[in-house]
Amino acid sequence: MNGFLDFLVRQKKLALVFSISVIALGLVSLSNIQRDQFPDVDFEIMTIVTSYPGASPEDVEQNITNVIEDELSSVTGIDKFTSTSRAGVSSIVITFSQDVSDLSEIKQEVRNVVNRIKSLPEEVVDLPRVIDRKTSRKSIIKISLSSDEIDYAELRGMVDSIAQSIESIEGVSEVTKDGYLDKEIQIHIDPEKLYQYELSLPQVMSAITQRNQRYTVGSNHNDKNEKTIVVLSKFDAATDVSEVIVKSTFEGLIVRLKDIAVIESGNVEEKSIVRVNGKKGFILRVKKQAQADVITTVDLVKAYMEKTGGKYNNQLDIFYSSDLSKYVRNRLDIVTNNGLIGLLLVLVVLGAFLSFKTAFWVAISLPVSLLGTVALLGATGETINLISLAAMILVLGIVVDDSIIVAESIYHYKQTGEDNFKSASHGFKRVIMPVVTTILTTILAFSSMFLMGGMMGKFVYVIPLVIIFALILSFLEVSLALPAHLAGSNEKKKEHYWFEYFENKFEVFLSKILNFHYLVIGIFSITLVISIYFASTQMKFTLFPAVGVDTINTRMTMNTGSSLSNTEAKAKQVEELIYRIVGDDLVSVTTDVGKYFTHKAKMIIELLPASERNKSSKEILKSLKASANEIDQVEKLKFSVRRPGPPQGEDVEINLISQAGSENLQAANKLEQILLNIPGVDNINRDDEPGKDRIEVKLDFEKMARLDIDFSTVNRYLRAAFTGIDVTNIREGQNDVNFRLYLGDLEKSEVFIKSLKVVNKNGRVIPLVNFSSIRQIVGEPDFNHYNGLRSIMLSASVNDEKTSTSEVMKEALLQLDLDKNFPSVRAISEGGAKETAKSMDGFKQAFLMAIVGIFLLLVLLFNSYSQPLIILSAIPFSVIGVIWAFFLHGEALSFFAILGVLALVGVIVNDSLVLVSHLNYLKDKSLEKLTIHQWIVKGVKDRLRAVVLTSLTTLAGILPLAYGLGGTDYLLQPMALALGYGLLFGTLMTLILLPCLYLMNVEFITWFKKLKKKRISS
């Protein structure tokens, strides 16, 4: 083994080639690797959306949702499915089980099940849409297009052309259009003329449909010149429909469609309105391909749009919003700037303690490890994103520590006067085993994240991957390259008088401390107990605190009967309020009116990046909430923020499930009151709010039978009168244009129902009132299911400063007391609370397993039971600094704080392991020459420079990020704070508490040996 290590130290050329090659490969990969906001994640969720025009929520539930859910119940591998049946549309969300071996097979089975369904109503023209949810399907930029100089029809044509061109850009997968009203040919039938010519509505519809046909009837059966026979009756142009003959007789009477109807080109009915910065227009949502780079793709789209603006003589107003590339670019810049500042500080610190040549070669280990990691990420198909960047920052300190330990050991031997080769060889051999053990223990600690469950587990798996890549490269660097580099550098002996003075002072101080080692251990232990008690009772854990967010969501609810135009008018007032309060920090306001209900509007307020704003998102949100009462005639106006990080639903989501509808409703009402009375709970919503009042036409089927009228005919008359019916279509360019038939104009009220007449099978005109009655009833709510059972879900957001999600869930369910008050109702927690529990439960178990693995490794290295426990005790003691740092900075403990603690474990275990290893070396060497106190003090003094160096360099590397010297990143800031302040206290613990624990261990072993010897002799 020694011969092999000596061989590595002599390979100067190999070392240089290795370092240069890895850096070069990393730089090449860096220019090609995909950049994205998050890793490409399959949410293991599918959505089935079915449109049922004009149907009530109950009709949708009975005829669509129940039918599809019955089929889904036969599919294995589904964890749960929830559904919402609202007016005109059914939406079913399927969540797959995480222990499924072949997810693609089950997804295909779901598609097959949906395609097999044949019993849907005839009004369901389009097949159910099955949507697979993945991060890659998220839009990367929204393009708003409007013009004051171009009419709607011409602008729509431009938008179609632009959307088609954008889809052909490299990296773009799909472009969807919002605020887009399709062209339609409107056929307004005059009811009086219909009756005058004794025509029925089904006759007219059939005549139009049959006139617009194209079909093949066969071939001419010619052996030498066979040809296909095609019958054409397609419309050549939209105006051809006016010439359709709807009735003719032998007497010569010919009735054409233009004789009984007004035909005009128009747009489909506006069912929702999208506004960007107060202007209606078209919005193009651009989605990228899964493997496309978000920054490059957006840049290509913007470059095309700049050319397009010139093409249309700048008559087109173009505005960009929800630009993901901006946030990815901003985060990359912040991390890069802080990294460069940190690297400069690291060089300064190393230069102050070691020689500048040694500092240079230690600093080289950083680009070797990090750029090598980038190359490996690219080779394995991973991306540079928020999560992988966080992992690189975490591993930065550990990589530097490994290099410093080897370099400092070699530097120490050089200062004794040995030649370069012997110094490098001796120094390398002295620390290589502790360094290898440190790398393995760190890998074990982070590998526990592979077993993290829930949605979080899918997003953070790349963290241990990055750590493993970086540590493997770090090991190769400190074994293949660094010793050879340092063996080849000639350095003069350098005196550090100021540090020698510090070493001497510390030696005296530690000698005194060891005389009271039990008292010191007691003080540290009491501090630990107090700190943990304080953290568990006074501090809150929030997976992703709502700080530094860049968007604010607004929900506005009018009275249930509000029309689309009335809701839009009120939304304009809310927009003005937002402009006034947010001011210069505003990027855009996107308003969506009537997406699901005409009395509701949703707005997304996009803010400048946190580092560029005058006010924080918290201040803006507080001001908006305080000003909400300025908008009158609004039932609800709520402002909230979406927490950063992976999607996890609302903070609080409680599903109440019961077959007894009345008891479920009572439970929901009580739960709503409970949530309203809990401090810190806001934006309470429930999914069973009543819809618009209904006008019901109740048919007398006995009278209908006598009058020879069937239900389908009545349905067609009513639908044509109030909604319109698509009868056929024609192709124009890339779009299908529907011919939509209306009975009369579109502005009819319910009074028209009483005057409506229906033609029966015998051609007689029968007034509708002769076989029906009309009544008004209160609107029914949406019908929601959980695994096929009716449910009511209540959701709410939580103010992290006042309470936490887990506390709210616990308190709400305790007060609700379902077993006593509502025995037939059961509650299922969803959203942020469930995700937090699922993610952390798996992580805790895996982390405990990792600690056991680390213990076994340390037992193998030291051949001792007690010394591994001493090293592992450093982990809880170092957390003391994290707890009090977060408290004093007013930060909540979060997921990224846990990541910082994990990295802290790597650094502290590294320092402790090397120190204990060196103390063992001195113990074997100096046992007869020095007292126990003396060689412990000498050993700690020998390692003082290495411990201080590793701490200072890690601090120098992450403090710029912790305090935003190169730009503030609120998401990564807690991680840097945890690592930085944990390390400060951990260094104190390593230099003071660890020697005391080691001394106590030596005394205990000596006492135990004496006791054993005494028993044997007696």
pLDDT confidence of residue 121: 84
Out of 318-332, 439-453, 773-787, 836-850, least confident range: 836-850
Contact yes or no for 337/966 (Cβ under 8 A): yes
Over residues 898-918, the mean pLDDT reads 82
CATH class, domain 42-179+281-322, is alpha beta
Contact yes or no for 264/258 (Cβ under 8 A): no
For the cut 90, the answer to whether the pLDDT of residue 969 exceeds it is: no
The whole-model pTM stands at 0.77
For the cut 90, the answer to whether the pLDDT of residue 894 exceeds it is: no
β-pair partners for 641: 552
Q: State which of 348-362, 644-658, 812-826 shows the largest mean pLDDT.
A: 812-826
The per-residue b/e assignment along 246-284, b for 16 or more CB within 10 angstroms, e otherwise, is bbeeeeeeebbbeebbebeeeeeeeebbbbbbeebbbbb
Over residues 768-794, the mean pLDDT reads 85
Q: Which residues contact 816 (CB under 8 A, 6 or more apart)?
A: 667, 670, 671, 674, 822, 827
Reduce the secondary structure of 582-617 to three states and give it as a string. HHHHEEEEEEEECCCCCCEEEEEEEECCHHHCCCCH
pLDDT confidence of residue 406: 83
Over residues 762-774, the mean pLDDT reads 87
Over residues 161-186, the mean pLDDT reads 87
Question: Could you tell me the CA-to-CA distances from 708 to 192, 200, 757 in Å, in that order?
Answer: 21, 14, 14
Q: What angle do CA 997, 1003, 1007 make, to 5 degrees?
A: 145
User: Is the Cα dihedral 197, 202, 206, 209 positive or negative?
Assistant: positive
For the cut 90, the answer to whether the pLDDT of residue 415 exceeds it is: no
pLDDT confidence of residue 275: 85
Q: Which residues contact 385 (CB under 8 A, 6 or more apart)?
A: 35, 36, 37, 38, 39, 328, 462
For the cut 80, the answer to whether the pLDDT of residue 646 exceeds it is: no
Reduce the secondary structure of 767-819 to three states and give it as a string. EHHHCEEEEEECCCECEEEECCEEEEEEEEEECCCCCCHHHHHHHHHHHHCHH
Pick the CATH number of 551-691+785-799 from 3.40.50.880, 3.40.50.300, 3.40.50.620, 3.30.70.1430: 3.30.70.1430
Domain with CATH 3.30.70.1430 in the chain: 42-179+281-322, 551-691+785-799
Domain with CATH 3.30.2090.10 in the chain: 184-213+231-269+694-777
pLDDT confidence of residue 495: 61
For the cut 80, the answer to whether the pLDDT of residue 1012 exceeds it is: no
Over residues 735-740, the mean pLDDT reads 87
- Joined together, the tokens standing for residue 318 give 């173009």
Query: In this structure, how many other beta carbons lie within 10 angstroms of the beta carbon of residue 631?
Result: 15
- What's the one-letter identity of residue 118? K
pLDDT confidence of residue 540: 78
Cα–Cα distance, 533 to 53 (Å, whole number) = 59
The rounded Cα 572 to chain-centroid distance in angstroms is: 30
Condensed to tens digits (0 to 9), the pLDDT of residues 917-968 reads 888 888 777 655 678 888 888 888 888 888 888 888 878 777 777 787 766 7
Quote helix, strand, coil % in the chain, to nearest 5. Answer: 55, 20, 25
pLDDT confidence of residue 530: 93
Q: Which residues contact 470 (CB under 8 A, 6 or more apart)?
A: 369, 370, 372, 373, 391, 392, 395, 398, 399
Q: Which alpha helices (DSSP H) does 417-492 contain, by range?
A: 420-447, 454-460, 462-476, 482-487
pLDDT confidence of residue 613: 82
Cα–Cα distance, 399 to 394 (Å, whole number) = 9
Over residues 382-390, the mean pLDDT reads 84
Own/partner pairs, 147-150, CB within 8 angstroms, 24+ separation = 147/281, 147/315, 147/316, 147/317, 148/317, 149/315, 150/312, 150/315, 150/316
Out of 391-405, 667-681, 994-1008, least confident range: 391-405
Contact yes or no for 396/945 (Cβ under 8 A): no
- Dihedral, 83, 86, 88, 94 alpha carbons, nearest 10: -10
* 3-class secondary-structure state, position 328: helix
For the cut 80, the answer to whether the pLDDT of residue 1011 exceeds it is: no
Condensed to tens digits (0 to 9), the pLDDT of residues 189-216 reads 988 888 888 888 888 998 888 888 877 7
* 3-class secondary-structure state, position 931: coil
pLDDT confidence of residue 492: 61
User: Is the Cα dihedral 785, 787, 789, 791 positive or negative?
Assistant: negative
**Residue 839 confidence class, pLDDT cut points 50, 70, 90:** low
- Joined together, the tokens standing for residue 356 give 């500048």
Own/partner pairs, 472-476, CB within 8 angstroms, 24+ separation = 473/22, 473/368, 473/369, 473/372, 473/373, 473/376, 474/365, 474/369, 474/398, 474/399, 474/402, 474/403, 474/439, 475/402, 475/435, 475/436, 475/439, 476/18
pLDDT confidence of residue 527: 93
Sheet with 139-146, side-by-side order of all strands:
172-178, 282-288, 139-146, 317-321
Cα–Cα distance, 933 to 454 (Å, whole number) = 51
Query: In this structure, how many other beta carbons lie within 10 angstroms of the beta carbon of residue 751?
Result: 8
% of the chain beyond a pLDDT of 90? 10
The rounded Cα 586 to chain-centroid distance in angstroms is: 23
Domain with CATH 1.20.1640.10 in the chain: 1-32+327-538+837-1015
What's the Rg (C-alpha) of the chain? 37
The candidate with the shortest Cα–Cα distance to 404, out of 500, 501, 506, 477, is 477
CATH 3.40.50.800 applies to domain 184-213+231-269+694-777: no
Cα–Cα distance, 40 to 170 (Å, whole number) = 18
**Residue 493 confidence class, pLDDT cut points 50, 70, 90:** low
Q: pLDDT averaged over the chain?
A: 83
Q: Which alpha helices (DSSP H) does 893-969 contain, by range?
A: 895-926, 932-962
For the cut 80, the answer to whether the pLDDT of residue 543 exceeds it is: no
Contact yes or no for 366/396 (Cβ under 8 A): yes
CATH architecture assigned to 1-32+327-538+837-1015: Up-down Bundle (1.20)
pLDDT confidence of residue 781: 80
Over residues 328-349, the mean pLDDT reads 77
pLDDT confidence of residue 136: 67
Cα–Cα distance, 659 to 787 (Å, whole number) = 12
pLDDT confidence of residue 776: 80
pLDDT confidence of residue 873: 86
Condensed to tens digits (0 to 9), the pLDDT of residues 852-878 reads 888 888 888 888 888 888 888 888 888
Cα–Cα distance, 486 to 206 (Å, whole number) = 90
**Residue 581 confidence class, pLDDT cut points 50, 70, 90:** very high
Over residues 424-433, the mean pLDDT reads 81
- What's the one-letter identity of residue 562? S
Cα–Cα distance, 778 to 690 (Å, whole number) = 8
The per-residue b/e assignment along 464-481, b for 16 or more CB within 10 angstroms, e otherwise, is bbbbbbbbbbbbbbbbbb
Q: What totals of helices (H) and strands (E) does the chain contain, helices first?
A: 34, 31
**Residue 749 confidence class, pLDDT cut points 50, 70, 90:** low
Query: In this structure, how many other beta carbons lie within 10 angstroms of the beta carbon of residue 21?
Result: 12
- What's the one-letter identity of residue 981? Y
